[in-house]
Structure 1
Amino acid sequence: MACTSSTIDAKSPLRLARRCLTWSGVSRMRRMSSIRAGRLAGVCVLSSAGRRIDSRNRSPTFPPVIYLDANATTPVDPAVLEAMLPFLREHYANPAASYAAGRRVRRAMEHARGQLAALLGASPGEITFTSGGTESINAAHASVRALWPEKPELIITGTEHAAVLESAARWQAQGGKVVTAPVHPDGRVDIEALRTLVRPGITALVSIMWANNETGVIAPMHEIVTLAHAAGALVHTDAVQAVGKIHLDVHTTPVDFLSLSGHKMHAPKGIGALYVSQRVRFAPLLVGGGQENERRSGTENVPGVIALGKAAELARQHLENGTKSKIKALRDRFEHLVHAALSQLRIHGCPTHRLGTTSSFCLPEIDAAGMLILLDQAGIACSAGSACHTGALHGSHVLEAMSISARDAECTLRFSFSRFNTKAEIETAAHAVIESAHKMREAQGSEFAVITH
């Protein structure tokens, strides 16, 4: 039976789950379906929280969570937390203050700036701290639009993050032109097509992500920079998923702008940075007190800055000590185990240019929404191949751009790994995927997609 919406009753939990395939929507679906699901024969049913409840004594059990959604956010490294805590407790002075306490905080911030610059191969003066990846992306786009109005064109791909897509929509609304470069079915940008799209005197900016958040596909950034610069265009890259996971050097791959986010590299949420090459001019998005060398006004998030600096230092160490290969080995082991039992599995993305932290695959005819519920019951945190936007379902534009059918997108799961995952967790998760897939096959075509025990 094909995994399309037509194969599932309109009132079934799976159909309701398609309102949103991320956890907020699934939780909402559970609340609506838990009473109906409880009518099924058996002992264990789903509670509104998605946990198993013994129907005889109503006592919930909570399996330990195996977190495999690191592309969504990462746990804060204990060393990062330790580094930032003094700046929440004792060192709370404003870094702009001229007295000793303020100067002490300012020195700590500059040390953190140097730590992040070292990870990127940049100079400390090229780093501007922001609230996160989204702000950094918007700031880069807005600066280019303001300073080069005579060049109306922005080039992106169809696989960009929503922050880039929405910023591009604003670019167009303000009178500019947005051109979408095609990607190959493996998710990598079509370089030859891009070469024909970049036009001297017309193209102001090429904005392409370094690594994709859904598939992990890594872009050929050096080629992109070379052809864009040859035509006089600037290059921005959304490197939120790449920084700390692969070796980046902004001098050997001389992008003009690079956006990153702390919470994707074991720092807390609410802190990020924008690399701005010293070669280019910059017009700030936020104006006011002139902080961050007049590039980003507003009193700095000092604890976040310290945390991001420490996270960058740790990321650099882990890239040098082989952690990257260890995570990839875990990912490969996970895919091998699942594929051995479910041979129809299809992995998305270029096999030779893919983050070792990411596994996106389709299990044909097995609905991802139902899989998410069963995996959550088993204590596995992962995500699906379709995106949720303020509670409404949208198919994955990334998979669509890769010419993957809507049906297969509905059957796609994404697992993303970090240095805190273990081999035992990976094997447990793989077996949970296999078991859940078998349950889904048994349930497919019935009103309820969750089988009780």
Structure 2
Amino acid sequence: MEIYCDSAATTAIDPEVIEAILPYLTTNFGNPSSSHWAGRKVREMIDNSRNTIARLLGVTAEEIFFVSGATEANNLALSESIREYELTHAITSKIEHKAVLQPLLKREKEGDIEISYVKLDKKGNVDLEHLERLLAANPQTLISLMHANNEIGNITDIEAISRLAKKYNAIFHTDTTQTIGKVKIDLNEFPVDFLVGSSHKFHGPKGVGFIYINKKHKLKPQILGGAQEKGQRGGTENAIGIVGLAKALEVAYRDFDSIHEKTAALKQRLISQLENRGIAEIGFNGESKSETKSLSSIVNVSFPCLQSGSLVNSLDTFGIAVSGGSACSNLGNGGSHVISAIQHESNRENVRFSFSKFNTTEEIDHIVNTIVKIYEVDNSIAEDTASAQHSFSLAL
């Protein structure tokens, strides 16, 4: 039985999205920059897709630009705003995605900015009082704080941060990669300067995303070679990705309540069963156990280490896909920088379970049963090893 429980890394494409994409794989294949009928058909679709995203977020179509994904969007917003406004200071946290931390660290290494890290509590929540002190001491600062953490699911109060940014004339960028399509965002309610999203996090195709750039800003493009995206990004638009992105977001907003209710129920079922099945010393990282302070789609569980290896790898051998951190950090060396920033407990394995509308209660039950069996076997191996060592020492 194969179970996919790593939707914070990427999601399965929704069937409605596939249906929307198909015409642009077959008959509507024109270059949107071409002036003939074939190009105009695709250009019209891109314009309609831009309008859809803008409407759902409560902004104007002129503020939405299509890119390859959130990583590119984050790099554009951070690097180009620092350059454009000659900013010398940035405030972020140590649990941001590396698509935020690495561009900022690069600019700091080059001597362009100084970075201040806002304090976090032991569960990874932003200390808003410390943030305000940092803002008061550093005028015209760039703030980059994510809406929800990709590993522990913590939801940050970006409305409060938006108010602080306005009060201290700061520029506010927020990485909403994990919340677009999962939390309703209406930018009429709280202004931000830059906001980003990736299609594949909400059941759209990979390789496409968008950046919202508040109309009061004009950033220089990072990718040159054409006047596409109103001069903001050169290169032929990913028409197939764009139509899929817009349809995926439309479906996510249309079905928001039912999807949220389902993923929240799956999350609470997993938590309840893990707590009641006798697995010793489990814990929950960050606010991931909370029904209100974290995403309904993420639970990050701290397990005692197995004697026989990794729990993530063991689950994989049973066809269960979960993560030991973000998908990006799994490709590098070492553990999670997010978990390290909020706790330093050794001899633990931290596992992220992330759900989508396609998961089922039967899958949750199977996951828990498998974990219980893995620990039963591991404990048996540990007892046999201890017995063998005891016999050996007596023989000596």
Q: Does residue 376 of structure 2 align to residue 438 of structure 1?
A: yes
% identical equivalent positions: 35
Distance 1:172 1:445, change over 3 A: farther
Q: Choose from 320, 341, 359 the match for 2:299.
A: 359
CA contact (8 A) 1:143 1:282 kept: yes
Distance 1:155 1:318, change over 3 A: same
Distance 1:368 1:442, change over 3 A: closer
Q: Choose from 75, 87, 91 the match for 1:155.
A: 91
Name the structure 2 match of 1:348. Answer: 285
CA distance in 1, matches of 2:212, 2:309: 38
Q: Choose from 109, 116, 123 the match for 1:179.
A: 116
Q: Does residue 231 of structure 2 align to residue 284 of structure 1?
A: no
C-alpha deviations, 1:348-407, integer Å up to 9, x for none? 122231000001011134479521222112221101148775855322111121124243
Name the structure 1 match of 2:355. Answer: 417
Name the structure 1 match of 2:390. Answer: none
CA contact (8 A) 1:94 1:105 kept: yes
Q: Does residue 144 of structure 2 align to residue 144 of structure 1?
A: no
Name the structure 2 match of 1:15. Answer: none
Q: Does residue 288 of structure 2 align to residue 376 of structure 1?
A: no
C-alpha deviations, 1:271-312, integer Å up to 9, x for none? 011011113232222222111011111110000000001001
Query: What secondary structure does 2:243 align onto?
Result: helix
Q: Does residue 191 of structure 2 align to residue 254 of structure 1?
A: yes
Matched to 1:329, the amino acid is A
Query: What secondary structure does 2:200 align onto?
Result: helix
Aligned residues: 380
CA distance in 2, matches of 1:308, 1:106: 15
CA distance in 2, matches of 1:106, 1:239: 27
Q: Choose from 202, 211, 232 the match for 1:274.
A: 211
CA contact (8 A) 1:388 1:394 kept: no
Gaps of 5+ in 1: 1-63, 448-453
Matched to 1:333, the amino acid is R
Name the structure 1 match of 2:389. Answer: none
- In the TM superposition, residue 198 of structure 1 has moved relative to its aligned partner by 1.5
CA contact (8 A) 1:80 1:311 kept: yes
Name the structure 2 match of 1:195. Answer: 132
CA contact (8 A) 2:139 2:169 kept: no
Matched to 2:379, the amino acid is R
Q: Choose from 298, 320, 327 the match for 2:263.
A: 327
TM-score, normalised with respect to structure 1: 0.80
CA distance in 2, matches of 1:368, 1:247: 43
Query: What secondary structure does 2:266 align onto?
Result: helix
CA distance in 1, matches of 2:61, 2:192: 16
CA distance in 1, matches of 2:371, 2:196: 34
CA contact (8 A) 1:370 1:440 kept: no
- In the TM superposition, residue 102 of structure 1 has moved relative to its aligned partner by 0.9
Matched to 1:269, the amino acid is K
CA distance in 1, matches of 2:309, 2:107: 34
Query: What secondary structure does 2:29 align onto?
Result: coil
Two-structure CA RMSD over aligned residues (Å): 2.0
CA contact (8 A) 2:139 2:168 kept: no
CA contact (8 A) 1:237 1:258 kept: yes
Distance 1:435 1:390, change over 3 A: closer
- In the TM superposition, residue 231 of structure 1 has moved relative to its aligned partner by 0.9
Q: Does residue 273 of structure 2 align to residue 337 of structure 1?
A: yes
Query: What secondary structure does 2:333 align onto?
Result: strand
CA contact (8 A) 1:144 1:204 kept: no
Q: Choose from 152, 155, 160 the match for 1:218.
A: 155
CA distance in 2, matches of 1:368, 1:356: 32
Query: What secondary structure does 1:237 align onto?
Result: strand
Q: Choose from 232, 236, 239 the match for 1:295.
A: 232
CA contact (8 A) 2:74 2:100 kept: yes
CA distance in 2, matches of 1:210, 1:368: 37
CA distance in 2, matches of 1:368, 1:261: 37
Distance 1:105 1:386, change over 3 A: closer
Matched to 1:198, the amino acid is L
CA distance in 1, matches of 2:334, 2:2: 27
Pairs within 5 Å for 1:103-114: 103-114=40-51
Distance 1:225 1:445, change over 3 A: farther
CA distance in 1, matches of 2:173, 2:359: 32
- In the TM superposition, residue 201 of structure 1 has moved relative to its aligned partner by 6.0
Query: What secondary structure does 1:362 align onto?
Result: strand
Name the structure 1 match of 2:394. Answer: none
- In the TM superposition, residue 441 of structure 1 has moved relative to its aligned partner by 3.0
